[in-house]
Structure formats: structure tokens, C-alpha cells
Amino acid sequence: MMAYSFASAVVLVLPIEPYLVGLAYFRPEYVWLAALLAALAHMAGKLVHFFLGTGILHRLNLAHRAELNETWAKRWEALEAYADRHPWALSAITFASAAVSLPPFAAMPFLAASVGMRWWTFAIAGTLGRWARFWAVMAVPGLLPPGLFGI
């Protein structure tokens, strides 16, 4: 489960939620632990994106390219200034994104890295949000009527 959760974080087209629903259906006694372990492994994969995002931003020299387009440069500076003034705002956005995927969590590692969010802050907020999401997803089989799938 942890390997698949890590892989689903790195390879964006592999969904973890159906796997977790199946696991919760057959092993309902391990829901909270499985949700926690899946969240930890998923965030390890997202940290790969976070650190790749940091390196990619430096290689692409996005700050210089943004200077070429004045509108984007102003938006980028406003976002960086907001992140500096409100350091916990990005943690709250990361938590919300990890829990409900608004904004899409696939983009959050790159956004967080680009505005200078610390990796451990991103990891803690993301893990808590993913744990809440995975726990909620794994509660779905308990809400379904028994014998729905004929098992």
C-alpha cells in the first residue's frame, strides 16, 4: 500500500483513492493506520515534486522570464510578498489542497517551492491534509449497505 501511495504521488495518473476504498472494505479495522501510512508515503512522493520544483525553477530562470512580461512579474512578486507576510497562509492552503484538492494538490509542491515555503512545513501541512482525505475516503465502504458488491 505504501509503495502504491508513493507511486501515485509521483506518477500523477495513478489514483490512490480506489485502492484505499478497497483496502477499507476488506480490512475495516485498519482504516486509521492505513490512512496515516498512505498519507506519509504520498507526501514522500510529493516531496520529490517539491524538490524537483525547486531545481526546475532555478534551471528555467522563471524570475528572469517573468520580468519579460510585466503583468506576470507583478503577480509573482505579489504572491511572494503575500507568502512572506503570511507564512501560515500557505500552510493552510496546502492543508486545504491536500484534503479537498482545491486548488489541485498536484500543483502545490511546485507552487510552495516557488514562493519559498520550507519543505518541512509543506510536509506537515500536506500530511495532515492527506490523512484527513484518506481517512474520509476509507470511511466510504462503511457507509455502503452490506453485500452491495456481492462479497
Whether the full predicted model's pTM is greater than 0.75, yes or no, is yes
Q: Domain spans of the chain?
A: 2-143
Dig out the grid coordinates for 101 from the structure. Answer: 484538492
End-to-end CA distance of the chain: 22
pLDDT for position 100? 94
**What pLDDT, in 10s, does the model give residues 86-145?**
888 989 999 999 999 888 999 899 888 888 888 999 999 999 999 999 999 998 877 766
